[in-house]
Structure 1
Amino acid sequence: MGILERLSRLIRANLNDLIRRAEDPEKIIEQALEDMRAALREARMEVAEAMAELRKLEREQQSYAEQAAAWERKAAEALKAEREDLAREALKRKQQAQALAEGFAQQVAQQQALVNQLTTQLKALESKIQESEARKALLIARKKGVEAAETVRRFESKVDAHSAVEAFDEMERRIEAMEDKHKALAELDRNDIEKELERLDANRQVEEDLNRLKRELGLA
């Protein structure tokens, strides 16, 4: 099981527990990021250990390769000294060292492949964390926007149903009715005054006509 798969299972377990408990979304997001950061730290340690093991295997392989070369030189020196027995023994030692060097070379290749795989997974995890941190701000902003809208909705709902608001509405209707009645009475009063003025004007014309007739008849 790779780093990402193993750590992903742990992260999912933690988050599923929070979701089952109906935790706040912001808390779940923060926990997810913290789990991913912890996983990243663990993954880096694992990659570092794998790289350290690779270096150790490389040193072992190099050491046995150098030993094989050294035994080769000793065999040549023994032959020059006409000591075939020593040359044969040196070559046997060379074969042993060479076999070990080849064995460690295979281990080095396998360990290198593992390091490459772990490094790729590590980079993928780092990219995922960067992406999640970028999305975090947007998700939290959306959450706060929903919370604000819900607060306004609840407030408006309470205000609309409040008896004080209903009382204000009723008083407004009554005052409007009073204003309408006042306007009607004022209109009637204005009409009465206009009629009175019209009567006065008519009476004045009658008096003028009466005085005119008296003058014409010499009765003035």
Structure 2
Amino acid sequence: MSVFQRLSMIFKSKANRALDSVEDPRETLDYSYQKQLELLQKVRRGVADVATSRKRVELQVQQLEQQSGKLENQSRAALQAGREDLAREALTRRSGLQSQIDSLKQQHEQLQGEEQKLTLAAQRLQAKVDSFRTRKETIKATYTAAQAQTQISEAFSGISEEMGDVGLAIQRAEDKTAQMQARAGAVDELLASGALDDVSGSSKDDIQAELDRMASTSGVELELERMKRELGQGSGSGTAPQIEEGDSRAGGPAGNGSQVQPYRQGEGS
């Protein structure tokens, strides 16, 4: 096999594969049906043409037969008038017309036979076209249903391009969400362990938070105990605390305000 033959075979195989990928069986069936209708129309037109020719021959035969009858009458009239020569001439013409009539009748028989053949062929072709149309519609319906079922199956299984894109988008969103959750958890753990400093100062580890809480509670308890002691001493003496107002001239340097001191038992007034 030569190089050109191999190239030709490769080109034909690739072209055939490309055509198969873009070919729609429904369109091919419709095209074939259209061609059959065109052929049927041509056959019917042929039948009509043959029938027209046959009818034209019939009219010619009728006209020639009328002329032949007229010549026969003229020959009889010529004989009655004693004109044998005219009668002979009329019969001679009638003989020529009869030859034409016989030829036209043969043509009429041939045309009639051809018309019958074409009519029978048209009927058979019509039956084939009707059968092909029924089969065509059945195949188209089956192909459409199979195509729809394939698309639905591909959509459910995620094989189709649209569903594949949606699946990839969902997968990317889930991956990003999981990554952000893992990052947030890691940062919280680092802040809780003290490995990272919280610039806002609001985040503390558990031990420091517990110590701060205990210190705050201890301070509150001490302040509460002191107030209880003070209130207990005041109620035992029966005397309310007094407030002394000092003179600005005797109590301190100029410009100082009055000082308020609580009265305690045992102190001089």
TM over 0.5: yes
The answer to whether the aligner puts 1:39 opposite 2:39 as a matched pair is yes
Letter in 1 for 2:138: L
Residue 15 of structure 1 corresponds to none
Distance 1:19 1:58, change over 3 A: farther
| Residues 131-140 or 25-34, more deviating | 131-140
Q: In the alignment, what sits opposite 1:116?
A: 116
Q: CA deviation at 1:47?
A: 1.5
2:61 corresponding residue in structure 1: 61
TM-score by length of 2: 0.50
SS of structure 1 residue aligned to 2:158: helix
Please, what TM-score do these two structures have when normalized by structure 1?
0.60
Alignment of 1:1-220 (within 5 A): 21-22=19-20, 23-158=23-158
| 3-state SS of 1:141 partner | helix
Matched AA of 1:75: S
Residue-by-residue CA offset, 1:16-57 (whole Å, 9 max, x unaligned): xx9993321100111111111222222222221111111111
Cα distance change, pair 106–91 in 1 and its aligned pair in 2 (3 A):
same
Task: Name the stretch that deviates more: 146-155 or 108-117.
Answer: 146-155
Q: C-alpha separation between the residues in 1 aligned to 2:116 and 2:137? A: 33
In structure 1, the gaps of 5 or more residues are 1-17, 168-220
Whole-angstrom CA distance in 1 between matches of 2:108 and 2:85: 35
In structure 2, distance between residues paired with 1:156 and 1:145: 16
* Aligned mates of 2:143, 2:27 — CA distance in 1: 11
Contact 1:75 1:90 in 2 (8 A): yes
Q: Structure 1 residues 84, 19: CA separation in 2 closer, same or farther (over 3 Å shift)?
A: farther
Residues 80, 20 of structure 1: alpha-carbon distance in 2 compared, 3 angstrom cutoff: farther
| Structure with more of its chain in helix, by fraction | 1
- Partner SS state of residue 113, structure 2: helix
Code of the residue aligned with 1:45 in structure 2: it is R
- 1:21 counterpart SS class: helix
1:84-142 CA-to-partner distances (Å, cap 9, x unmatched) read: 11111111001000010000000000011111111111112222222222222211111
Q: Which amino acid aligns with 1:133?
A: R
Question: CA–CA distance in 1 between the matches of 2:41 and 2:30?
Answer: 17
Q: Which residue type is aligned with residue 92 of structure 1?
A: T
CA distance in 2, matches of 1:96, 1:137: 61
Rounded Cα–Cα distance in structure 1 between residues aligned with 2:19 and 2:116: 39
Q: Which amino acid in the other structure matches residue 78 of structure 1? A: A
Separation of aligned partners in 2, 1:137 and 1:86: 74
Report the CA distance shift for 1:19/1:135 in structure 2 as closer, same or farther (over 3 A): farther
SS at match of 2:89: helix
* Greater Cα radius of gyration, structure 1 or 2: 2
Paired residues of 1:19 and 1:28 also in contact (CA < 8 A)? no
User: Which gives a bigger RCO, structure 1 or 2 (Cα 8 Å, sep 6+)?
Assistant: 1
C-alpha distance in structure 2 between counterparts of 1:79 and 1:27, whole Å: 78
Name the SS for the 2:35 alignment partner: helix
In structure 2, the CA distance between the partners of 1:20 and 1:79, relative to structure 1 (3 Å rule), is farther
Q: Distance in 2 between matches of 1:120 and 1:42?
A: 14
Partner of 1:209: none
Q: How many residues are paired up?
A: 149
